[in-house]
Chains A and B, each alone.
Chain A
Amino acid sequence: MKRGRSKCQSFTPSEGRKKRHRSVAPPYVQTGSSASQKLTEETWGNLPHHVVLHIFQHLSLVDRARASSVCRRWNDVFHIPDLWRKFEFELNQPATSYLRSTHPDLIQQIIKRHAQHLQYVSFKVDSCTESAEAACDILSQLVNCTIKTLGLISTARPSFMDVSQSHFVSALTVVFVNSKSLSSIKIDDTPVDDPSLKVLVANNSDTLKLLKMSSCPHVSPAGILCVADQCHGLRELALNYHLLSDELLLALSSEKHVHLEHLRIDVVSENPGQTQFHTIKKSSWDALIRHSPQVNIVMYFFLYEEEFEPFFREETPVTHLYFGRAVSKDMLGRIGLNCPRLVELVVCANGLEPLDEELIRIAERCKSLTAIGLGECEVTCSGFMEFVKMCGGRLNQLSIMEEVLIPDNTYNIEQIHSEVSKQLGRIWFPDMMPTW
């Protein structure tokens, strides 16, 4: 104890900040000056503030908390606002999650001492409604803050959807109204609605750059159009297909608007055959590409085969395509014809007929294609080789389940492995699953 104290004192020498003087031990505990000189060299407590801060920035919260109990100086650093700019609230219930929650005391501490420092905030909630409600309760207490990034993440089921809409919306708008400099917002699978988006726009239109709101059923096309019309800095947008309209694309392409960088569209149908999908005019897509030539357009499809009818009838500037369910040969054929900007294609499943022709056409026409993933499909080994040869080295991602490839007279699986590796200039294997 004595040594500790004398150390503490000897650390402070030249800096002599007021704060630190408090920790100076009374004279009687001091040993001879030569001894204390020695101790100075040996100790950590006199690391300059900014060095400790720098180290703390690399530590987890737990480690920081532990380190902060070493000495008062480190403890001072622990509370520096810089260290509280980002925080992830984890809200789980023992009955529904294996993961623990952020401790309520810590949450209270943050709300009390560090709310105004928070800039990057996320909430991860499990499948339980209570967790989502707890997140909303915290949100509504973030009155004095300047949040830039807000993420509401359901880790298992979309539990925010189970919170009463009024509770959710009022909590969210607290942040919208008070932060005024929101830049990135991820609110997928939540009951956000048009009026709350209006509040968002009214308070953050100058700063909003990213909005991710896939599967928000209470938002209408008009609601999202209002965002696009007024948030001219918006560069990334994720939404469901039913919110996508010609007007929206035109709004995003207006002169006042910055270049759009990412547009992600989820195309989902809940009941087979009951959803009628509208089409987007080619002229609207063209306008978007004229305005933002580099934009990534990512489409995730979760449709039944017969629902693909309205898509890719005309040229569509999509860059990334993901088919989560079976997609018809016919549809893949149209992709080869009408998706010249295609970069990545993932087909999780298809019927029983080999996709040779379709893939070869895609290789031929989609000159930017660099990545492809195939799940439950079939391609003959020869057809696949043809595809790989046509694409050549530009295929930097080639993820093909082993079962996809049907050996034929020209190639068996072993040969495919070596031939494809030759074409790509690197070792390549089909994706294997354990034989068990």
Chain B
Amino acid sequence: MAPNSIHWFRKGLRLHDNPALQEAIRGADTVRCVYFLDPWFAGSSNLGVNRWRFLLQCLDDLDSNLRKLNSRLFVIRGQPANVFPRLFKEWKISRLTFEYDSEPFGKERDAAIKKLAMEAGVEVIVKISHTLYNLDKIIELNGGQPPLTYKRFQTLISRMDPPEMPVETLSNTIMGCCVTPVSEDHGDKYGVPSLEELGFDIEGLPSAVWPGGETEALTRIERHLERKAWVANFERPRMNANSLLASPTGLSPYLRFGCLSCRLFYFKLTDLYRKVKKTSTPPLSLYGQLLWREFFYTAATTNPRFDKMEGNPICVRIPWDKNPEALAKWAEAKTGFPWIDAIMTQLRQEGWIHHLARHAVACFLTRGDLWISWEEGMKVFEELLLDADWSVNAGSWMWLSCSSFFQQFFHCYCPVGFGRRTDPNGDFIRRYLPILRGFPAKYIYDPWNAPDSVQAAAKCIIGVHYPKPMVNHAEASRLNIERMKQIYQQLSRYRGLGLLASVPSTHNGNGNGMAYSPGEQQSGTNTPAPAVSGGSSGNRSGSILLNFDSEEHQGPSGIQQQQQQQLGYHHMPDTGHNSRLYKCNVSHDMAGPQHSGHLLHTGGSVTGKRERESERELDGEDDTLSTSHKLQRQIAEVTSVHATSGNQSSMKS
């Protein structure tokens, strides 16, 4: 008997290049395409109206395209785990297909459904089509760990076979004699809900700048490629005032919801490149937008804590400030910096902002100005940004806040200068912050510096009609650069609760870079410059630049270990005040020369075992850094127990 199939849509909201959907149809009697408005995605209330609308439009489009094939979309209210068993029975299902979800929670959910299906005697077929590659293969190629730098990722990719070709679009031919039983009351039972039905107030809601759906996505990709062909330039376009605005060739939300297949995009780009350039091998940079996404999916797929700082093995722990008022000002576009506020307004209104604009607001919130946790920013983006995907959103925030992936942190985007460089005239500001319309270009990025007469003429008094800047950027960035340095210095050397360990300003591993206080016993070796700053490295010790060099360091080990290696001896802190100060602490006699020596020699000669150990040590350190109350209490308990333990044991014995 030919099977009855269900294809389960989650992402991958399309009929083109949908291999799992084809599997559902292959040789089947019936197929039903279902979508759950489930708590894993749809049910969570922290999605904004734009994201909901985009999703519903995708579903509408999917339904209308299925109708053309005499089929329908079944939108099912409920949770998959609860509803599937009933559907399996009711529809006599023997095959379930869906697209592979690489994200940890998706994997967990899918594993549960698979189990459930198997118990019901339903065959499950899963196909990869949301990413270009099988991410597990990339990880395997990297020795079992996800690559943690984009360069390393590129290297791995270049060693792999090109992605698989997209499969054919679903058509009547492919459908063959496979049908979808549709009941009279389909619309009532399984129709796509409206925004009102979901409880949104849509009065005054402007029409969507980014309409959802596969049909729109396919129109856009054609326009996108036409434009590329027209400019015949395959490099990343330089940013200008125009690129800040939503473009009818923009694709990111469509890739996010899978209205557009990344593989289709990949191969269309390749074809076009070959046609225009007449060469056969396009550079990897051609696929930048796709590969970054792939990079973050890879980094996240085995890390359920990818969207957290605590307990996330690749995330540097940074003592972010908790400041709900400041966070609200940022999220609600009331920072007093027109550049930041205009971007945040655009994000809220339209659901999309240019990637450099994302850099600007993310830097401002985190390491640049407000020193607020990237997790908070990520949540706001999760609510507002159409293309925010769990992996890509968290990964990008970690990146932009310098919490992972080894970037330099020396540069903070200036909330005044960056905008002015991009859009000197300030039209972007005037579009999204009409209150500032009257300001001349000269002052539109820093209206608080405008003379009273200018403010009066603009009919906008700063501090009355538009807020004063919430921080002094120069001062904040000075402080924050110092904080960052402090953190990276500690990372490089820090062991145990001692923190007191910091960056070695020495390459000569014997621990005598220990400089001042503790060096007492060795004061002989410790005199002038070379001893202190470690000979050859002496001239580096004022540096703020981190040396995360290249490939060799991107071994299979975890990030902390790499951080240790890389920061450990390449990164020279600033004048070393810190470093020296803390170095003292590490390198004092107790730490022992082997210890520091080891660190300084880790290079590549470390055995796997040792690497694991150092990872663990750093994990432990994270624990102590966090000094979770529980642990602390334990210590306190332990110590206090021991204070009296002499007594106890003597009593016992």
Contacts and interface: CB of A to CB of B under 8 A. Distances in A.
A370 B539 contact: yes
Interface stretch (A61-69, A193-201, A277-285): A61-69
Contacts of A297: 542
A432 B150 contact: yes
A193 to B, nearest CB: 20
B271 interface: no
A318 to B, nearest CB: 9
Interface string B142-174: 000000001100000000000000000000000
A79 B355 contact: no
B598 to A, nearest CB: 10
Contact of A100 (B292, B617, B628): B628
Interface string B222-239: 000000000000011011
Interface stretch (B40-48, B120-128, B320-328): B320-328
Contacts of A26: 653
A296 B541 contact: yes
The CB with the most chain B CB atoms within 10 A, among A151, A186, A431, is that of: A151
Interface in A364-409: 368, 370-371, 373, 375-376, 396-397, 399, 401-403, 406-407
A210 B550 contact: no
Interface in A325-362: 325-326, 343-344, 346, 348-349, 352
Interface in A397-436: 397, 399, 401-403, 406-407, 412-414, 426-427, 429, 431-436
A86 B588 contact: yes
B627 interface: yes
B631 A62 contact: yes
Contact of B540 (A23, A109, A370, A435): A370
A139 B187 CA distance: 72
Nearest to A71: B649
Interface stretch (B84-92, B188-196, B413-421, B459-467): B413-421
B296 to A, nearest CB: 8
Interface in B287-342: 288-289, 292-293, 295-296, 309-310, 317, 319-323
A375 B363 CA distance: 13
B634 interface: yes
Contacts of B293: 436
Contacts of B417: 325-326, 349, 376
B276 to A, nearest CB: 15
A210 B585 CA distance: 13
Interface in B335-368: 355-356, 358-359
A299 to B, nearest CB: 9
Interface stretch (A41-49, A120-128, A163-171, A241-249): A120-128
Given A109-B639, A294-B538, A158 B479 contact: yes
Contacts of A376: 411, 413-414, 417-418, 421
Given A68-B638, A431-B407, A320 B588 contact: no
Nearest to A29: B653
Contacts of A434: 150, 292, 295-296, 355, 395-396, 399-400
B592 A373 contact: no
B542 A62 contact: no
B208 interface: no
Interface string A119-152: 1101010110000000000000000000011010
A17 interface: no
Question: Mostly helix, strand, loop or mixed at chain B's interface?
Answer: helix
Contact of B539 (A88, A263, A368): A368
Interface residues of B, number: 126
A304 to B, nearest CB: 8
B474 A346 contact: no
Give the bracket for the number of chain A residues in contact with chain B. Answer: 35 or more
B486 interface: yes
A319 B539 contact: yes
A324 B477 contact: yes
B584 A87 contact: no
Interface stretch (B73-81, B106-114, B569-577): B569-577
Given A86-B585, A210-B516, A298-B542, A62 B623 contact: yes
A257 interface: no
Contacts of A214: 482
A3 interface: no
A62 B577 contact: no
Contacts of B528: 258-259, 261, 294
A120 B238 CA distance: 50
A431 B638 CA distance: 48
A65 B296 CA distance: 38
A230 B618 CA distance: 42
A88 B499 contact: yes
A292 to B, nearest CB: 8
Contacts of B483: 155-156
Contacts of B533: 261-262, 296
B543 interface: yes
Interface string B385-422: 00100001001100110000001101111100110010
A403 B449 CA distance: 29
A366 to B, nearest CB: 12
Interface in B572-599: 574-578, 580-582, 584-585, 588, 590-592, 595
Interface stretch (A32-40, A264-272, A308-316): A264-272
B497 interface: yes
Contacts of B522: none
A433 B585 contact: no
Contacts of B486: 153, 155
B175 interface: no
B620 A375 contact: no
A426 B549 contact: yes
A426 B500 contact: no
Given A86-B588, A325-B414, 6 more contacts: A23-B649, A120-B588, A207-B517, A296-B538, A324-B412, A397-B543
Interface of B: 150-151, 235-236, 238-239, 252, 283, 285, 288-289, 292-293, 295-296, 309-310, 317, 319-323, 355-356, 358-359, 371, 373, 387, 392, 395-396, 399-400, 407-408, 410-414, 417-418, 421, 424, 449, 472, 474-475, 477-479, 481-483, 486, 495-500, 515-518, 528-530, 532-533, 538-545, 547, 549-551, 574-578, 580-582, 584-585, 588, 590-592, 595, 617, 620-621, 623-629, 631-636, 638-643, 645-646, 649-650, 653
Interface of A: 5, 22-26, 54, 57-63, 65-66, 68-69, 72, 75, 78-79, 82-83, 85-88, 90, 92, 95-103, 105-106, 109, 113, 119-120, 122, 124, 126-127, 148-149, 151, 153, 155-158, 183-186, 188-189, 207, 209-210, 212, 214-215, 235-236, 238, 258-259, 261-264, 266, 268-270, 272, 294-298, 300, 302-304, 319-320, 322, 324-326, 343-344, 346, 348-349, 352, 368, 370-371, 373, 375-376, 396-397, 399, 401-403, 406-407, 412-414, 426-427, 429, 431-436
10 contacts: A23-B649, A66-B638, A75-B645, A78-B639, A97-B321, A120-B585, A149-B518, A155-B483, A157-B479, A322-B544
